[in-house]
């Protein structure tokens, strides 16, 4: 069994490294595919799932700044459609009421309009999709808390790819052809969203090294070396799992 989860900072080249590892080990590379599968299971457009993921970081940050917390749901879990409705209510208050997003969330919170903490149905769907892919073997699972969902499972290697902020901004400039200020904004926004996602859905710090078996900093380690390191580590983890079986 060869299953690898990769968590990466934007601009660290983590996605490219994961893709090369998947190619060399003939693994399925699963990133966007996870989103598509969740959307199919929930019978909603994939854009709605993307909005939930992107909003996890923003909503958590805004609520923290406002000192507000969402109320516990009145039912066991909230559906994707209920989460979508919340975003629509916030959008209407912003568009029609002239409020900022922060003010709209504050007003909804004060009036009991925030009705979920975290979207459990979304988590259930992501978890089932990732578990299904992992069970099929030869899977490279990129992002979405794979290291939490598959934590403790034998034969699974958890990798984190990081780099300094300046390195990541420079890489985004080269890859996306934008100026420094825009590249820095994109990197900061991605950090905020990924940090909020892991905190809101799993209550962990996204850069906690204890969640990973291998942490690679690409400031000085070239991509091809990182690929070799991951492959060697994955083989060692797979052999250890086989020995224990």
Q: Which domain holds residue 66?
A: 44-119
This prediction's pTM: 0.69
Asked if the structure places residue 35 within a domain, the reply is no
Domain identity same for 82 and 179: no
Asked if the structure places residue 212 within a domain, the reply is yes
Which of these, 27, 34, 26, 84, lies nearest to 55 by C-alpha position?
A: 84
Domain identity same for 115 and 169: no
Domain boundary among the residues 119, 151, 168 is at: 119
Domain identity same for 86 and 182: no
Contact between residue 172 and residue 10 where contact means Cβ atoms under 8 Å apart:
yes
Asked if the structure places residue 126 within a domain, the reply is no
Print pLDDT tens along the chain (245 aa): 689 999 999 999 999 999 899 999 998 888 777 766 766 766 666 666 666 666 554 444 433 433 433 333 333 334 444 555 566 666 666 666 666 666 666 666 555 544 444 444 677 777 888 888 888 888 898 888 889 988 888 889 999 999 999 999 999 999 898 999 999 999 998 888 888 888 888 889 989 999 999 999 999 999 999 999 999 999 999 888 888 76
Domain identity same for 143 and 240: yes
Asked if the structure places residue 130 within a domain, the reply is no
Domain identity same for 236 and 188: yes
Give the separation between CA 144 and CA 210, rounded to whole angstroms.
17
Domain identity same for 12 and 60: no
**Phi (first) and psi of residue 68, to 5 degrees:** -110, 150
Domain identity same for 12 and 58: no
């Amino acid at each position: 069994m060869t299953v690898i989860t990769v968590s990466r900072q934007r601009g660290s080249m983590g996605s490219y490294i994961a893709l090369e590892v998947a190619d060399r080990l003939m693994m399925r590379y699963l990133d966007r595919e996870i989103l598509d599968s969740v959307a199919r299971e929930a019978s909603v457009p994939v854009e709605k799932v993307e909005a939930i993921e992107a909003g996890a970081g923003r909503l958590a940050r805004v609520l923290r700044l406002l000192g507000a917390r969402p109320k516990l749901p009145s039912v066991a879990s909230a559906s994707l459609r209920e989460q979508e409705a919340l975003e629509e209510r916030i959008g209407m208050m912003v568009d029609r009421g002239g409020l900022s997003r922060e003010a709209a969330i504050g007003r909804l919170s004060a009036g009991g309009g925030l009705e979920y903490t975290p979207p459990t149905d979304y988590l259930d769907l992501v978890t089932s999709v990732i578990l299904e892919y992992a069970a099929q073997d030869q899977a490279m699972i990129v992002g979405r808390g794979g290291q939490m969902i598959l934590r403790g499972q034998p034969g699974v290697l958890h990798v984190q790819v990081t780099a300094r902020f300046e390195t990541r901004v420079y890489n985004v400039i080269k890859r996306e052809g934008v100026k420094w200020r825009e590249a820095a904004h994109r990197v900061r926004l991605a950090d905020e969203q990924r940090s909020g996602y892991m905190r809101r859905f799993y209550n962990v710090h996204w850069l906690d090294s204890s969640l990973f078996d291998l942490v690679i900093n690409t400031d000085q380690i070239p991509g091809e070396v990182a690929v070799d390191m991951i492959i060697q580590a994955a083989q060692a983890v797979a052999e250890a799992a086989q020995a224990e079986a």
